[in-house]
Amino acid sequence: MTDSEFSTLAAAGLGRDAKDDVRAINAMDRTRYDSSRHLAHATEQARERNYADFLIVDADAHHYENESWPDIVKYIEDPILRHRAELGRPPLDRSNVDQNRAGRIYASSRRRYEEVPGDVPRDVTLIRREMDAIGIDYQIVFPTPMLHLGMHPDKFMETQLSWAYSRWMTEEILPHDNRIKTMVYLPFNDPEASLRTVEYFSGKPGVAGFMVTGPRYKPVHDNAYMAVYRALEERDLPLGFHAGYHSSERIMEGMNRFLSVHALGFVLYSMVHLTNLVINGIPERFPGLKVLWIESGLAWVPFLMQRLDNEYLMRTSEAPLLKKKPSEYMRENFYYTTQPMEYDNLKALQLTMEMINAETQLLFASDFPHWDFNLPSTVYDLPFLSEHAKRRILGENARELFKLDS
């Protein structure tokens, strides 16, 4: 490169011609970028050191191939994988997330294109439309990507991000519609922050309770959490454990399908946390604490009832706080949401509902717009439920638990 070419490049990189002495920078502009301008000082160094006189080789540099993903996909030889990659993001990590199966199921992926009028926040409009379309009167709304925050290696991140989200929800979303509620995210990897969260958000309009995301390795029976349970019990606010899977869960390293990871992952952490709560006598220490198990379906509950009862009866000395069998706490102190209801075997489902005392302990949930959402008809069309039981499950149990209309 000649000296004059260097001069031109340097001048261009500095955003001026050689005669200008001042260049304005818009510090708030986060979108514009020009490589030559950004590296203008490097260009000056190259000229000053006369790099043009000898060979320089860069043995390691990068580009971002995901920015050209649509051009790359066509070379994938396996037709199924090519199809999955065309409508999804590059499946480059272990997550193997393909919940919407390359566009086969599209409510959650196309939602971002839905047009809204703009008179209220976008989320308010979309939530209202979904509620009205399905026939729902009240909806407890939860985040989606934040369901994985409990696995972040930096607990400060969970505390800070969840706080910001909860402030946004309670200050900018919920006030627009009394029918939209939330259970505020508890950053459970930090017990003190969790207590602060309960104290700050209790009583805020639209706050129906508090929620812990399941994927995390914390022992929920640890002494550090007793103050949180006490605070919730005193305020008569329910505590939800929202299920989730973790893409890097080691026990699932051998599972190659999202179907498999989801089937087991979404009950795995619920089972661990429920077992810890019951066996360590949390329902005995806090008999007024209502715990809700969200989005694990129902089939896991009879299994755990039977398993824990059988083990407990042989090892009562390991659970000295218990005065009843584990299944009794599960039936009397705990609540469950219906989705995703496993209703292919109605006989098993009927027995399950009897075992969990569905008429008082079960709450309908849609999980919309996720790929395995349910509708009220999922409950309403069950042939073995009385009309009274249907109405309890579809709304009255939630009205009591969340104190709706009060």
Partner 1 sequence: MGEWLVGSTADFDEGDRRIMKVDGREIAVLKNDGRFHAISNYCLHMGGPVGEGMIMGKVEAVLTDDEQYVGERFSTEEIHIICPWHGWEYNIATGEFAGDRTRCLPTFEVVTRDGQVYVRT
Sign, CA dihedral 266-269-272-275, equals negative
Q: Is 375 in the site for partner 1 (CB under 8 A)?
A: yes
Residues in binding contact with partner 1, number by CB under 8 A: 18
138-141: long-range contacts at Cβ-Cβ below 8 A with a sequence spacing of 24 or more? 138/179, 138/180, 138/181, 138/395, 138/398, 138/402, 138/404, 139/179, 139/180, 139/181, 139/366, 140/181, 140/182, 140/183, 140/208, 140/365, 140/398, 140/402, 141/169, 141/180, 141/181, 141/182
Q: Is 364 in the site for partner 1 (CB under 8 A)?
A: no
Output the smallest distance, CB 280 to partner 1, in A. Answer: 38
Output the smallest distance, CB 337 to partner 1, in A. Answer: 17
Output the smallest distance, CB 262 to partner 1, in A. Answer: 13
Q: Is 6 in the site for partner 1 (CB under 8 A)?
A: no
Q: Is 101 in the site for partner 1 (CB under 8 A)?
A: yes
Categorise residue 382: left if φ over 0, alpha if ψ from -120 to 50, beta otherwise. beta
Closest CA to 301 of 265, 351, 375: 351
How far is Cα 279 from Cα 272, in angstroms, rounded to an integer?
11
- HSE-CB at 253 with a 13 A cutoff on CA atoms is 2
Q: Is 264 in the site for partner 1 (CB under 8 A)?
A: no
Q: At what angle do helices 346-355 and 300-314 cross, to 10 degrees?
A: 50
DSSP code at position 403: T
Q: Is 133 in the site for partner 1 (CB under 8 A)?
A: no
As a whole number of angstroms, the longest Cα–Cα distance in the chain is 89
Q: Is 106 in the site for partner 1 (CB under 8 A)?
A: yes
Binding span for partner 1 by CB under 8 A among 36-44, 77-85, 167-175, 201-209: 77-85
Instruction: Candidates 27, 57, 80, 314: give the one binding partner 1 (CB under 8 A).
Output: 80
Output the smallest distance, CB 369 to partner 1, in A. Answer: 10
Q: Is 378 in the site for partner 1 (CB under 8 A)?
A: yes
Q: Is 104 in the site for partner 1 (CB under 8 A)?
A: yes
Binding span for partner 1 by CB under 8 A among 75-83, 150-158, 302-310, 327-335: 75-83
Binding span for partner 1 by CB under 8 A among 41-49, 99-107, 177-185, 384-392: 99-107
Nearer to partner 1, 184 or 349 (CB): 349
Q: In this structure, what token pair is assigned to residue 44?
A: 């000056």
Q: Is 258 in the site for partner 1 (CB under 8 A)?
A: no
Output the smallest distance, CB 100 to partner 1, in A. Answer: 9
Q: Is 372 in the site for partner 1 (CB under 8 A)?
A: yes
- In three-state secondary structure terms, 182 is strand
Nearer to partner 1, 309 or 372 (CB): 372
Q: Is 129 in the site for partner 1 (CB under 8 A)?
A: no
- Strands 207-213 vs 139-140: parallel, antiparallel or unpaired: unpaired
Output the smallest distance, CB 105 to partner 1, in A. Answer: 5
Output the smallest distance, CB 191 to partner 1, in A. Answer: 38
DSSP code at position 176: G
Output the smallest distance, CB 78 to partner 1, in A. Answer: 6
Q: Is 373 in the site for partner 1 (CB under 8 A)?
A: yes
Binding span for partner 1 by CB under 8 A among 148-156, 199-207, 329-337, 373-381: 373-381
Instruction: Candidates 225, 374, 382, 393: give the one binding partner 1 (CB under 8 A).
Output: 374
Binding span for partner 1 by CB under 8 A among 44-52, 141-149, 203-211, 375-383: 375-383
Kindly report the length of the chain: 406
Q: Calculate the alpha carbon distances from 327 to 38, 221, 312, 339, 356 in Å.
A: 64, 18, 10, 21, 9
Q: Is 79 in the site for partner 1 (CB under 8 A)?
A: yes
Q: Is 337 in the site for partner 1 (CB under 8 A)?
A: no
Q: In this structure, what token pair is assigned to residue 178?
A: 């009394």
Q: Is 166 in the site for partner 1 (CB under 8 A)?
A: no
Q: In this structure, what token pair is assigned to residue 13?
A: 């990189």
Q: Calculate the alpha carbon distances from 94 to 97, 258, 268, 371 in Å.
A: 8, 11, 18, 20
Binding site for partner 1 (CB under 8 A): 78-81, 83, 101, 103-107, 371-375, 377-378
